[in-house]
Structure 1
Amino acid sequence: MANHKSALKRIRSNEAKRLRNRYQNKTTRTFVKRLKNTTDKAEAQELLKKVIGMIDKLSKNNIIHKNKAAHQKSQLTKFVAAL
């Protein structure tokens, strides 16, 4: 167990950040699945803008690696273009 006040606070803040990161990552994955299941091109293009913004935010906050973000955006853009 932590012996210092600052260590206890760090444990609390780390848990809060972990839950927030987990929520944002899961929400993004849900939107990616929703985009993949879309058959309407116009709807997919609108959803793509939102999903790319979410992926960029995850990358900026180091929740996912920047190369993974670039790869996901590339694949999703290719998918929407093929519709």
Structure 2
Amino acid sequence: MQRLPDTSLTAALANGGIQHFGWGVDRHMHADTYDAINLQTRATGNWGKTPPRFPEWPRPNDKPRAAPAPTPKKRVSVADLHARISRR
């Protein structure tokens, strides 16, 4: 995988999935810069009691979505299989 742009679909799939498509080094740096500016604004601002909470730039999710819990399968005996086939 040499000479592919970092925003390509192949690079996105290698980085963790389709949600990384279009996220190259430049986009990650812009998101980090945005978060750093918000952090500095929060740290150096003259706020009342508590500083406001600035939202972070949305990034692709590295963790896959949780799959639903598998339901326990019922054990099937040979007699049950024979009963199912013979009903037809």
Please give the TM-score of this superposition, normalised by the length of structure 2.
0.39
Q: Which has the larger radius of gyration?
A: 2
Higher relative contact order (CA 8 A, sep 6+): 1
